[in-house]
Amino acid sequence: MIVKVRFIALAADLTGRTEYIIDIDKPIPLSKLVNDIYDLFPRLKQFSNLLVILVNGEKHEPTYVVKEGDEVAFVPPSSGGV
């Protein structure tokens, strides 16, 4: 099952890439996927208190089950407007 992980703005600077494709054999909790990503990108993990995790553009509980086709994004706090 393919899950696309996106690194947006500051998160892209921390990983040096804008996306990462993960192939998982079965649906897994969001918390597990996030920890796997943090293991792969330790620099990102250092900013985990700051970062927001979105699934298909929305916040979800850590227990959310990630499924085929989901897009998980690591984003900084929004700073639109002025």
| Interacting residue with another protein among 23, 26, 63, 78 (CB under 8 A) | 78
β-bridge pairing 2-7 and 71-75: parallel
The dihedral through the CA atoms of 28, 31, 37, 39 has a sign that is negative
Give the count of residues interacting with another protein (CB under 8 A): 26
Q: Which of 1, 24, 28, 54 binds another protein (CB under 8 A)?
A: 54
Distance in angstroms between the alpha carbons of the first and the last residue of the chain = 40
Name the residues that contact another protein, by CB under 8 A: 6, 8-10, 13-17, 41-43, 50, 54, 56-58, 73, 75-82
